[in-house]
Amino acid sequence: MAFKIGLLGLGTVGTGTVQILRDPVQRHPLVNDLEIYRVGVRSPAKARAVDLPAHLITTDLDAIVTDPAVDIVVEVIGGLEPARSLILKAIAHGKHVVTANKAAIARYGAEIFTAAEQAGVYVLLEAAVGGGIPVIEPLKQSLCANRLHTVTGIINGTTNYILTRMQNEGGDFADILADAQRLGYAEADPTADVDGLDAADKIAILASLAFGGRIKLSEVHCEGIRQVSAADIAYADKLGFVIKLLAVAKRDARSLLDESAQLQVRVHPTLVPKSHPLASVNDVNNAILIEGDPIGQVMFFGPGAGAGPTASAVVADILNIAAILKVERGSAARSDGTPLLDPLLACSHQDYYAIAPIAALVTRFYARFLTGDFPGVIGKLGTCFGNHDVSLESIVQTGLRDGLAEIVVVTHHVREGNFRTALDEIRAMESVSQIASTLRVL
Amino acid sequence: MAFKIGLLGLGTVGTGTVQILRDPVQRHPLVNDLEIYRVGVRSPAKARAVDLPAHLITTDLDAIVTDPAVDIVVEVIGGLEPARSLILKAIAHGKHVVTANKAAIARYGAEIFTAAEQAGVYVLLEAAVGGGIPVIEPLKQSLCANRLHTVTGIINGTTNYILTRMQNEGGDFADILADAQRLGYAEADPTADVDGLDAADKIAILASLAFGGRIKLSEVHCEGIRQVSAADIAYADKLGFVIKLLAVAKRDARSLLDESAQLQVRVHPTLVPKSHPLASVNDVNNAILIEGDPIGQVMFFGPGAGAGPTASAVVADILNIAAILKVERGSAARSDGTPLLDPLLACSHQDYYAIAPIAALVTRFYARFLTGDFPGVIGKLGTCFGNHDVSLESIVQTGLRDGLAEIVVVTHHVREGNFRTALDEIRAMESVSQIASTLRVL
């Protein structure tokens, strides 16, 4: 059973999506059931990183979303229009939709989800927030038993990159923005990122999911990072804080059982205590901290953007829809009458993996020896390791312990079997009293 | 439509599960469809933190797993037997199963999942690894498009607590273990934790899911933390590392496309570079770092144990099964003929949330002022804030900038509206040249 994908857009994320779908080895077997059926682009003549058969490509995006053969429409053109209209038309034609479009969902989510509910189709949007970091689906599924009260995120990679560099280099906003633009970390028109608008779109989506209600984007309080100065970062540092652009959605814990309680949904630069889990989220990384009862705190951390990570989220959504369609269509499909299981939730793999023996491991080691305090012991250890192809990064006599010399060795990447053979030889040396410890190094 | 739960065990996790199910307000609406139908315990007379009607309680666990009315069996008794037999019997009677039992799944997973596949039922186990941290479901669903190559976890809270204290206090293993036992962070027989056996169970489960094959637990290389000494932690620190008990599952990236490639699955104390995301995971927290193509790295962080977090994972699994059952049973259920959607994946909430105005926010502030260098300016600022109920934590003249005095203020938690009113008044003061910045403090 193949599921036919109509892909709208073949930019960065669209290309990443095609690359995953055409290279299914060692991904979930369900990827084999997905067929790239049509790809809608604006300029078919443009050179692409993926080489698709010409008959798949069309400039008629309307024809894709209305094609009776298409099961799932994947919208990765971005922007408000024609994305919104295409999504709505796809829904009206009974297609399930996967989108990475935070701007369209944050503005037209109500219209889109109402239409989807009426048509009985899914609109999934994992890629809209946090790039490849699983956060939408965990909010919907893994955390669904919780009464959530706070979502706090670093959900804009560009501003986090700029703030991290301001923190590390002591530079001012304007200079580092200019450099970030030169390096491709910030767009020529950086408004959506640096003024917090992108983060506002995303926190509106997260708040809606976390608290199960709709959010008017115009009511989200939004401040960007233009006014953050090197002086403030330096003073914050002295006070024990780093400055991060946080997006916060909060239901007042005191009134948690009061359904009429108001939400806070806001984006602004914030002094974050250095010991806070979000304080060490640097560069273009994103992280989302979710708090509630009874979970306490959980945090999701990873790459907030990029073709590969975002495409990972897009294809995960496609696979989730395909899995459900498989269950629905197969309701009585198995010959022996047992129900067909959701292939993502079931554990159906039968084969055993061969596990490599630990001797075959290639890793770095730390080892500590207690030896007689004779000249030449370090040389003997070094020679023995060398004889067994164990290359050393350092070997240092760190001091004396109980009248014995203490020697600490750190290896380069070596084969564990070789290291152990060398240790056996060292253990037999008269001058070595004890191999006090051996530990692997990550 | 109610889904009937047969709960096996009313210990810590069982009690947490009942507490969630009986308090559905502001959780997912689907919680209302779950009914605690039978609860199997060993000692019905025992005092419990939850007050259940007597007719729900039974000591006949066999009767629960064979009861035709039960939809979902939740196994939270732990241990190998009778857990294994009860799970298998529940499966044979067509029940879906939710379990938190890492020991039984790591040993009998092959038998259990084969039986489940044949019976067409789900066996979900989010609570078996990482307590409340969503990791099983993200591996199965959100990351299913990836070709994963490495899973690295801190997945035993007890050993991480001991190692964190050894790191912070410089103490030796035996002393801190004894104290951890006194405080309830380690069990009287600490073997399963400190010898790495618990982590081995969990990494076997994660490896199986990440790489889609079965793992023989006996082949998992396992070393505990008994041999980690204060001296090693001190040397590691000097070399730029912390020592963590890591559980690692790795498919060799160089042979990623070679299906016959061997896996590494191992648990051992490891020197972790201080800059690594896992290095700052301290105390009883767990974290799981997952790497693959094209996602790069994602990390899940949170409470690895505890009644509430673990019950959060148990109830999420129950809700996931209920959601699928709802779709299956309702295939043609809606009166207008449109398909019923999975209530967890769909976005069906219709109501708008009221968003609080930013002036109502209660938060801490940081503010920086440039003023004339006159005596009494700090007093004027302090008085003005005080007049508007803005309580200050500190107010410091930090130096001179461009011939002006620079004053940094940090407030306690104050109402933003009051703070802004005070700022308006300060802005009008002759002695104040500029409010150079105002930032909120997390």
Residue identified by tokens 């899911």 is B209
Same domain, A107 and A144: no
A131: closest chain B residue by CA: B295
The predicted model scores a pTM of: 0.93
Residue A338 lies in a domain: no
Q: Whole-angstrom Cα distance, residue A106 to residue A297?
A: 25
Q: Whole-angstrom Cα distance, residue B323 to residue B1?
A: 11
Residue B350 lies in a domain: no
Instruction: Let me know the angle formed at the C-alpha of A222 by A14 and A274, rounded to the nearest 5 degrees.
Output: 90
Q: Which pLDDT does position A230 carry in this prediction? A: 95
Is the CB of residue B214 less than 8 Å away from at least one CB of chain A?
A: yes
Q: Which of B136, B275, B353 to mutate to test the interface with A (most CBs of A within 10 A)?
A: B353
Among residues B402, B404, B405, B407, the alpha carbon closest in space to that of B384 is found at B407
Q: Which pLDDT does position B164 carry in this prediction? A: 97
Local confidence band at A343 (pLDDT 50, 70, 90 cut-offs) = confident
Task: Specify the amino acid at residue A224.
Answer: G
Q: Whole-angstrom Cα distance, residue A399 to residue A385?
A: 21
Contact B440 A264 (CB under 8 A): no
Q: Whole-angstrom Cα distance, residue A304 to residue A225?
A: 18
Q: Which of B142, B216, B285, B312 to mutate to test the interface with A (most CBs of A within 10 A)?
A: B142
Is the CB of residue B435 less than 8 Å away from at least one CB of chain A?
A: no
Contact A262 B356 (CB under 8 A): yes
Q: Which two tokens stand for residue B175?
A: 């002393």
B23 class by beta-carbon count within 10 Å (0-12 exposed, 13-18 middle, 19+ buried): middle
Is the CB of residue B172 less than 8 Å away from at least one CB of chain A?
A: no
Neighbours of B37 (CB within 10 A): 18
Residue B388 lies in a domain: yes
3-class SS shares of chain B: helix, strand, coil, % to 5: 40, 25, 35
Domain span at residue A8? Answer: 3-131+309-329
Of residues A19 and A47, the one with the higher pLDDT is A19
Question: Is the C-alpha dihedral spanning B139, B143, B148, B152 positive or negative?
Answer: negative
Contact B324 A345 (CB under 8 A): yes
Q: Which pLDDT does position B281 carry in this prediction? A: 95
Same domain, A322 and A176: no
Which of A220-234, B180-194, B324-338 shows the lowest mean pLDDT across its residues?
Answer: B324-338
Is the CB of residue B13 less than 8 Å away from at least one CB of chain A?
A: no
Same domain, B151 and B279: yes
Same domain, B396 and B365: yes
Same domain, B210 and B125: no
Among residues B313, B316, B318, B339, the alpha carbon closest in space to that of B328 is found at B339
Neighbours of A321 (CB within 10 A): 24
Question: Is the C-alpha dihedral spanning A75, A79, A83, A84 positive or negative?
Answer: positive
Of A220, A256, A340, the CB nearest to B26: A256
Name the minimum distance, in Å, from the CA of A56 to any CA of chain B.
22
Same domain, A141 and A259: yes
Please give the sequence-ordered ranges of beta strands (E in DSSP) within B304-416, or none if there are none.
362-371, 392-401, 404-411, 414-415
Please report residues of B whose CB lies closer than 8 A to that of A304: none
- Give mean pLDDT, residues B385-391: 96
Residue A9 gets which letter from DSSP? -
Q: If contacts are CB pairs under 8 Å, which of residues 391-410 in chain B contact chain A?
A: 398, 401, 406, 408, 410
Instruction: Give B248's contacts (C-beta < 8 A, 6+ positions apart).
Output: B150, B151, B152, B153, B203, B264, B265, B266, B267, B270
Instruction: Give B205's contacts (C-beta < 8 A, 6+ positions apart).
Output: B102, B105, B106, B109, B125, B128, B129, B136
Q: Is the Cβ–Cβ distance between A365 and A419 less than 8 Å? A: yes
Q: Is the Cβ–Cβ distance between B70 and B56 less than 8 Å? A: no
Q: Which of A303, A318, A342 is the last residue of a domain?
A: A303
Local confidence band at B98 (pLDDT 50, 70, 90 cut-offs) = very high
Residue A401 lies in a domain: yes
Same domain, B111 and B155: no
Q: Whole-angstrom Cα distance, residue A197 to residue A394?
A: 50
Is the CB of residue B230 less than 8 Å away from at least one CB of chain A?
A: no
Average pLDDT, chain B: 93
Contact B137 A142 (CB under 8 A): yes
Is the CB of residue B355 less than 8 Å away from at least one CB of chain A?
A: yes
Q: Which pLDDT does position B254 carry in this prediction? A: 59
CATH number of the domain at A21, please: 3.40.50.720
Q: Which of A23, A141, A401 to mutate to test the interface with B (most CBs of B within 10 A)?
A: A141
Of A20, A117, A137, the CB nearest to B294: A20
Q: Whole-angstrom Cα distance, residue B91 to residue B96?
A: 7
Contact A262 B355 (CB under 8 A): yes
Q: Which pLDDT does position B347 carry in this prediction? A: 80
Local confidence band at A345 (pLDDT 50, 70, 90 cut-offs) = confident
Is the CB of residue B7 less than 8 Å away from at least one CB of chain A?
A: no
CATH number of the domain at A292, please: 3.30.360.10
Is the CB of residue B69 less than 8 Å away from at least one CB of chain A?
A: no
| Active-site option among B102, B202, B244, B326 | B202
Contact A142 B401 (CB under 8 A): no
Is the CB of residue B111 less than 8 Å away from at least one CB of chain A?
A: no
Residue B182 lies in a domain: yes
Please report residues of B whose CB lies closer than 8 A to that of A270: 439-442
Same domain, A98 and A190: no
Local confidence band at B1 (pLDDT 50, 70, 90 cut-offs) = low
Q: Is the Cβ–Cβ distance between B363 and B416 less than 8 Å? A: yes
Name the minimum distance, in Å, from the CA of B61 to any CA of chain A.
25
Q: Whole-angstrom Cα distance, residue B250 to residue B242?
A: 21
Q: Which pLDDT does position A282 carry in this prediction? A: 94
- Give mean pLDDT, residues B314-327: 93
Residue B338 lies in a domain: no
Q: Which pLDDT does position A96 carry in this prediction? A: 96
Q: Which pLDDT does position B253 carry in this prediction? A: 62
Q: Which pLDDT does position B316 carry in this prediction? A: 96
**What's the number of domains chain A is made of?**
3
Task: Specify the amino acid at residue A428.
Answer: A
In chain A, % of residues over pLDDT 70: 96
Q: Which pLDDT does position A256 carry in this prediction? A: 55
Task: Specify the amino acid at residue B75.
Answer: E
Same domain, B153 and B270: yes
CA B349 to chain centre: 26
Same domain, B272 and B142: yes
Residue B351 lies in a domain: no
Q: Which two tokens stand for residue B297?
A: 């790295």
Residue identified by tokens 């002022």 is B369
